Amino acid sequence: EPEVTQTPSHQVTQMGQEVILRCVPISNHLYFYWYRQILGQKVEFLVSFYNNEISEKSEIFDDQFSVERPDGSNFTLKIRSTKLEDSAMYFCASRLGGGQYNEQFFGPGTRLTVL
């Protein structure tokens, strides 16, 4: 069964460093998402991406964040200068498209720890 994959599973970085979180969505999906979940809190939407551009973003997704689909398979989230409060689990998701009724498939997540 096709699935969304994410690498790495755990990333430890120093405050101020840049990190890139990688995701491989399901191959025929058209809509891509990043969410994050701070420990003990709910899952929060960060950004959605369609047709090679951002379609929606939240207030969390400020200038420190960027997304890219550099090739036909990868979807990346870059945090330019990490802060302690960026420590969270980051989930990538993808959706087939074709209307609003399709489920989103989530990856297993990348746990980001900023020291």
Partner 1 sequence: SQQGEEDPQALSIQEGENATMNCSYKTSINNLQWYRQNSGRGLVHLILIRSNEREKHSGRLRVTLDTSKKSSSLLITASRAADTASYFCATVPTDSWGKFQFGAGTQVVVTP
The contact mask relative to partner 1 for 34-63 (x = CB under 8 A, - = no) is: -x-----xxxxx--x-x----xx-x-----
Regarding 65 and contact with partner 1 (CB under 8 A), the answer is no
Regarding 14 and contact with partner 1 (CB under 8 A), the answer is no
We find the least distance from the C-beta atom of residue 77 to partner 1, in angstroms, to be: 15
Stretch that binds partner 1, among 59-67, 69-77, 80-88, 97-105 (CB under 8 A): 97-105
3-state secondary structure the chain: CCCCEEECCEEEECCCCCEEEEEECCCCCCEEEEEEECCCCCEEEEEEEECCEEEEECCCCCCCEEEECCCCCCEEEEECCCCHHHCEEEEEEEECCCCCCCCEEECCCEEEEEC
Regarding 31 and contact with partner 1 (CB under 8 A), the answer is yes
Could you give the C-alpha distances from 41 to 23, 37, 48, 86, 89, in angstroms and in order? 22, 6, 21, 13, 10
We find the least distance from the C-beta atom of residue 8 to partner 1, in angstroms, to be: 14
Regarding 101 and contact with partner 1 (CB under 8 A), the answer is yes
Q: Which residues bind partner 1 (CB under 8 A)?
A: 31, 33, 35, 41-45, 48, 50, 55-56, 58, 89, 91, 93, 95, 100-109, 111
